[in-house]
Amino acid sequence: MGSRNTAPIRTNTMLTYNETYNLTQSLNKKAFNLAYNTWMQAEEVEHEGADEEAEEIRDKASTEQAGHFRDLYRDLNKYEQQSVLHWLKENEDFREEFSVWFDEDKFADQFDFEDPLMPGLH
């Protein structure tokens, strides 16, 4: 995906919860910006009174944004990803928000939290 506009992140230690949350929040903002045109299309269609069509476009925008978020997550270095995995395991609120940004169905398919000692990617 190329470079990302985030604050410098340590590359050899675990990130704090706040650092990890801020990092993933910035990924979601960037993903939103990448899907912005689709979100605006939905808004325009809604203003024209086509609510059902607008809802379909919003669903498309949400799916598009989640796809960008997953790509950006995969571009993180291994220490950043390890920090995300750690906080996904340790913080239920973070896990819930991250799973929405990632796409809840794809999150459940990719992350395994059944084994409390080894959350991770499938």
Task: Judge whether 9 lies within some domain.
Answer: no
The pLDDT, as a whole number, for residue 9 is 54
Task: Judge whether 11 lies within some domain.
Answer: no
Structural element, H or E, at residue 32 = helix 17-34
Given a cut of 50, the residues of the chain with pLDDT beneath it are 1-4, 8, 116-119, 121-122
Task: Judge whether 98 lies within some domain.
Answer: yes
The pLDDT, as a whole number, for residue 44 is 87
The pLDDT, as a whole number, for residue 47 is 82
- Domain extent at residue 112: 17-121
- The terminus-to-terminus CA distance of the chain in angstroms comes to 22
The pLDDT, as a whole number, for residue 11 is 53
DSSP state string for 63-114: HHHHHHHHHHHHTS-HHHHHHHHHHHHH-HHHHHHHHHHH-HHHHHHHEE-S
Distance (Å, whole) CA 32 – CA 37: 9
Distance (Å, whole) CA 103 – CA 97: 10
Positive or negative, the CA dihedral 20, 118, 76, 8 is positive
Task: Judge whether 8 lies within some domain.
Answer: no
The pLDDT, as a whole number, for residue 52 is 85
Task: Judge whether 3 lies within some domain.
Answer: no
Task: Judge whether 39 lies within some domain.
Answer: yes
What percentage of the chain's residues is helix, strand, coil (to nearest 5)?
70, 5, 25
The pLDDT, as a whole number, for residue 6 is 53
The pLDDT, as a whole number, for residue 114 is 61
Task: Judge whether 4 lies within some domain.
Answer: no
Q: What is the number of domains present in the chain?
A: 1
The pLDDT, as a whole number, for residue 10 is 54
Task: Judge whether 6 lies within some domain.
Answer: no
Which residues sit opposite 62 in a β-bridge?
Answer: none
